[in-house]
Amino acid sequence: MTIGVSMLVGSSRAGSLNERLAKAIERLAPKELVFERVKIDDLPFCDADLEKSPPEQVLRLKATLDRNPAAFFVMPEFNRSLPAVLKNAIDIGSRPMAANSWRGKVVAMTGASPGAIGTAVGQQHLRQILSVIGANVMAGEAYISFSQPDLIADDGHIENESTRAFIQAYVDRFAEFAQRLCDQ
């Protein structure tokens, strides 16, 4: 069975480490996971007025989330939290409450930063938010500290064997988790 996975990357910066990490995940994932990138950097700021007559970008976001039973977040940490662009997308996806696109979603996350604790604190915030809005967040953690600038190549190739094995194991575990929950 294939499973659609919305891929949300919390940085659109040119040369983004997290974009490279997202590509690595897409390369390493088993073929059962079919990733769809979610564009979030052109969304308006969330407020309740958006629900009255949602603009095209909002409808596009919700439609993408709704057609995929799973979602995967790859994000930097900004001041020990998640980047605002990602929080905005999460908030928009959660409304209207009766059509919360996150409810029951099968979710995992990871993130990269040059810092020693590679997004650990930011991911805790993300985990807490997703739990509140009803997503099924996979237990376990994966923090990537970009100790060397070329740890992951632009195309997502990982030369370093232990880093590749670490990410592979995490993605495989997500595939197994998603299969189990989406089968129910």
Q: What is the CA radius of gyration of the chain?
A: 16
Strand partners, 9: 74
Q: Is 100 one of the binding residues for ligand FNR (CB under 6 A)?
A: no
Using CB under 6 A, which of the segments 43-51, 73-81, 84-92, 166-174 binds ligand FNR? 73-81
d(CA 182, CA 65): 15
Single-letter code of the amino acid located at 35? F
Q: Is 113 one of the binding residues for ligand FNR (CB under 6 A)?
A: yes
Cβ contacts of residue 102 below 8 Å, gap of 6+? 65, 71, 90, 93, 94, 130, 133, 134, 135
Q: Is 18 one of the binding residues for ligand FNR (CB under 6 A)?
A: yes
Q: Is 11 one of the binding residues for ligand FNR (CB under 6 A)?
A: yes
CB-nearer residue toward ligand FNR: 101 or 123: 123
Using CB under 6 A, which of the segments 58-66, 95-103, 113-121, 157-165 binds ligand FNR? 113-121
Residues in contact with ligand FNR by CB under 6 A are 11, 13, 16-18, 76-80, 113-115
